[in-house]
Structure formats: C-alpha cells, structure tokens
C-alpha cells in the first residue's frame, strides 16, 4: 500500500557487467507516465467510505492509502479513470488537465 521508494536508475556501462537477463531494473520507476494524462482523478475525502476499491483496481499502482484515505500519485497516474468508474460513492471526479 505504501509508495515505493525511489531508487537510482540502473545503467550498465558494458555488456560484461550485465546479467544474462535483466532483473529488477526498476525501469518503470523512472518511466514517469503521469505526463501521458489528459484528465486526472481528484478524490473528495468527505464522501469517501475508505473501501479501498480504487486502490485495488488501479492498474498502475498509482493510488496509495495514507491516513486511511486514497492518495493519487500524479507522477505515474495515466488518468485512465478506472478508479472513478469503480468508486461506489462516486467521490472521485475526473478533471481536465489545464497545462
């Protein structure tokens, strides 16, 4: 449930340093997919019943639970809207990005 700690990007200088197959490169940590987003989920905690369904359904693990409420990680959230669709109280709104 916790946000993964950032790690240094692994870059091999030569093929000799590399294993036969890449293992745990953590490449997705450095692939900041939040830039793909057109609309973003905004949670209204006043109507949230803390069910955790948004956390469970997020396909990119971009929702964390902090102090028992969902928090969206906008660095990685692609704005797919699955959390808003699945929310039983409809307390997640998909809001247009303004940039």
Residue (9 or 90) nearer to another protein, CB: 9
Residue (22 or 35) nearer to another protein, CB: 22
12 binds another protein (CB under 8 A): yes
31 binds another protein (CB under 8 A): yes
The single residue among 4, 6, 7, 28 that binds another protein, judged by CB under 8 A, is 28
Taking the C-alpha atoms of residue 47 and residue 69, their distance in angstroms, rounded to an integer, is 11
* H or E stretch covering 17: none
At 55, is the secondary structure helix, strand, or coil?
A: helix
Residue (19 or 59) nearer to another protein, CB: 19
Taking the C-alpha atoms of residue 69 and residue 76, their distance in angstroms, rounded to an integer, is 18
């Amino acid at each position: 449930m916790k946000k993964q700690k950032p790690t240094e990007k692994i870059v091999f200088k030569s093929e000799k340093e590399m294993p036969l197959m890449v293992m745990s490169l953590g490449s997705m940590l450095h692939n900041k997919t939040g830039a793909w987003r057109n609309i973003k989920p905004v949670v209204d905690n006043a109507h949230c019943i803390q069910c955790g369904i948004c956390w469970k359904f997020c396909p990119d693990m971009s929702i964390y639970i902090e102090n028992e409420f969902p928090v969206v990680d906008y660095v990685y959230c692609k704005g797919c809207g699955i959390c808003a669709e699945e929310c039983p109280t409809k307390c997640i709104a998909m809001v247009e990005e303004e940039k």
